[in-house]
A and B are shown apart, each in its own frame.
Chain A
Amino acid sequence: MITDFRRLLRADGGTQNREIYWNEDLYAQELEQVFARSWLFLTHESLIPNPGDFITTFMGEDRVIVSRGGDGVIRAFLNSCNHRGNIVCRADSGNVRSFTCNYHGWVYGLNGDLADVPLEKEIYTEPLDRKRLGLRQARVESYRGFVYGNFDPEAPSLLDYLGEMAWYFDSFMDVPGGAELLGPPIKVRFKANWKFFVENFIGDFYHAGWTHAAAIKVIGGALGMIQGNQAVAPGTQFATTFGHGFNASPGTDDLFPSIHQGRIATMFEDWMRSRLPVVRDKLGTERARLYNAIWDGGMFPNTSFLRGIDTWKVRQPRGPREVEVWTWTLVESEMPEELKRGIRHSNEKTFGAAGLLEGDDGENMEGNTHSSDGVITRQQPLNTEMGLGRETFRDEYPSMISEPADNEAAHRNFLRMWKTMMTAKDWDEIITRRRQDARR
């Protein structure tokens, strides 16, 4: 295990050795230290509403089945048979009574227990220990319908892990009826390190005006002002104790910033106009401002999202130089069906697999990653010093903030959380070190 991170990441997170984006040993350490101990996004409750509904996904590179049992409880367990290791379920989603391995027909229940072994009495000398041979379970917890899994029994609860982020998430998740995701996810493979993608959403509002200049010129709307770096957008960057963060550029009572176009933009504005007073009553002025803002953000380690574009993404790691990006659409449950469909279309048009903006990001992330194949290039540190020293606290917000939204405070915070997890021996140490860091 690599323990000396002084040469890999400056203490404030403001410069990085490129090694953190290509080194195979560090990647293996990430799977053990970060992915096997963090709360990882699995699905939304509304996507598996009935007993027997399931999806298959990944936690790090571990395949998991997420299924709703006959008792209505959602569980997540390894998708690998305990006999010879074969993958138990090869469908992406569906509804079943049980999961049967193709190799010898071992049957696992909706709760992951070993339910049946063909010819067991005839061929085994002793009855099999069913308890020992069930599929290994992850802890599963939901926050406002968003389902996460964690393989570390010592990790804090999902709510504690979200920390200040829960307060921010409530701006759009604790609205009447709540928020939900439309699936199934669109999946795209990129030749890039997963962290670059997460950082790009968690704290890089700066790139939007330039990387996406062409798309923003065509789409216009609230983001039009930053097209081609003509201006700095108003807004704030937020960074929380356990590495989650986002930028928000708020609207006003007349301006409802989004990327939606035409009829859907009008419907979205009407919806926001009708909801804003309700949200203000329920959650207060600050969160009403956040509700009516365009956001780009992320949850440590590998979830990304955009509000006002209404995308939700998971960056599934596939080695240090590859990543699979899974994309859902984020909507409010009580929105009319036509608006939900329109938002889905607008998300797919901008941040789907042929998205007007998604296509711009991918190549940058790949360039960031693969330029470091060169041994001299590798020696050049990378830089996230924007806004350094402007990190501050304000009474109305529970976490550190920095202004303007063009900032790299959330990058640095994400990477400091990453370093803590990469080196800390257990969650007690992670929590202690991160609480110290959050007071900086």
Chain B
Amino acid sequence: MNTVAGTGVPLDLYFEVQTFLFREARYLDDEQFRPWLALLTEDIHYWLPIRENRFRKDRRPPPTPADSASVYNDDLSDLTDRVARFETGFAWVEDPPSRIRRLVTNIEAETTARDDELAVYSNILLYRNRRQDEEAWFVAARRDRLRWVDGTWRLAKRHIVFDQHVILDDNLSVFL
């Protein structure tokens, strides 16, 4: 069996992971939110904590979902509410719609203690262009868990490491 050196992950599995992430990005770029929700496990945890400037010698432990200020700290029902808001026809901020494109790179996959889960790392660059000329660029790393459920990969966990302190555009109402 050919594996990606140093990861224990077979090559074909690595390509499945890559395909999963690219398809997910396309669903989101194309506002296919219901198919995107179908890629998530029932117990998905989707987390984007804010990042404070702390001194290197600061001894406080890094924030956890239980004690951090977050932009997203969502379960499936929260994410479904966000999608439902888009679908009401009253979400004026997305009407006319923004132009959004995601570039997903630096993909790595590693085996985990669970037979049915992979640890997946990737970076994302999201470009948002709105109205006449409003531009935003968002860059983040993602620490994912993909789980094999009923013959298909699903996203079970995403920790988004977002590379801004002050969020430099109106909102982060985009899935990263």
Contact = CB atoms under 8 A, between A and B. Distances in A.
A211 B92 CA distance: 8
A217 B50 CA distance: 28
Contacts of B77: 262
A261 B82 CA distance: 13
Contacts of A341: 66
A433 interface: no
Interface string B92-127: 110000000000000000000000000000000000
Contacts of B78: 349
Contacts of A214: 85-86, 88-92
B29 interface: no
A189 B168 contact: yes
Interface residues of B, number: 38
Interface in A256-300: 261-262
Contacts of B54: 91-94
A94 B58 contact: yes
A228 B90 contact: yes
Interface in A342-370: 344-345, 348-349, 352-356, 358-360, 362-363, 366
Given A219-B81, A353-B71, A354-B72, A186 B50 contact: yes
B71 A354 contact: yes
A399 B50 CA distance: 39
Contact of B93 (A188, A219, A363): A363
A116 B135 CA distance: 46
A190 interface: yes
Contact of A360 (B81, B92, B166): B92
B58 A91 contact: yes
Contact of A354 (B53, B166, B168, B172): B172
A95 B71 CA distance: 25
Contact of A344 (B69, B84, B92, B169): B69
Contacts of A356: 81-82, 85
A182 interface: yes
Contacts of B81: 218-219, 261, 349, 356
B152 interface: no
Interface string A181-216: 011111111110000000000000000000101110
A175 B167 CA distance: 34
Contact of B71 (A186, A211, A219): A186
Interface string B139-176: 00000000000000000000000000111111111100
Nearest to B162: A353
B65 to A, nearest CB: 9
A170 interface: no
B51 to A, nearest CB: 9
B129 interface: no
B171 A358 contact: yes
A190 B170 contact: yes
A72 to B, nearest CB: 20
A183 B169 CA distance: 21
Interface string A325-354: 000010000000000010011001100111
A434 to B, nearest CB: 34
B41 interface: no
Contacts of B172: 353-354
B88 A184 contact: no
Among B58, B84, B92, the most chain A Cβ lie within 10 Å of the Cβ of B92
B53 A92 contact: yes
Given A92-B165, A214-B90, A359 B74 contact: no
Contacts of A348: 69-73
Interface string B26-53: 0000000000000000000000101011
B45 to A, nearest CB: 12
Contacts of A344: 69
Contact of A188 (B48, B74, B84, B166): B166
Given A211-B92, A352-B71, 17 more contacts: A91-B53, A91-B54, A92-B54, A93-B52, A186-B71, A189-B167, A190-B170, A214-B88, A214-B92, A341-B66, A344-B69, A348-B69, A348-B72, A349-B74, A354-B72, A359-B93, A362-B93
24 contacts: A92-B53, A94-B54, A182-B69, A184-B52, A184-B69, A186-B71, A188-B166, A188-B171, A189-B169, A214-B88, A214-B89, A217-B88, A228-B90, A329-B69, A344-B69, A345-B70, A349-B74, A349-B81, A353-B167, A354-B72, A354-B174, A355-B173, A359-B93, A359-B173
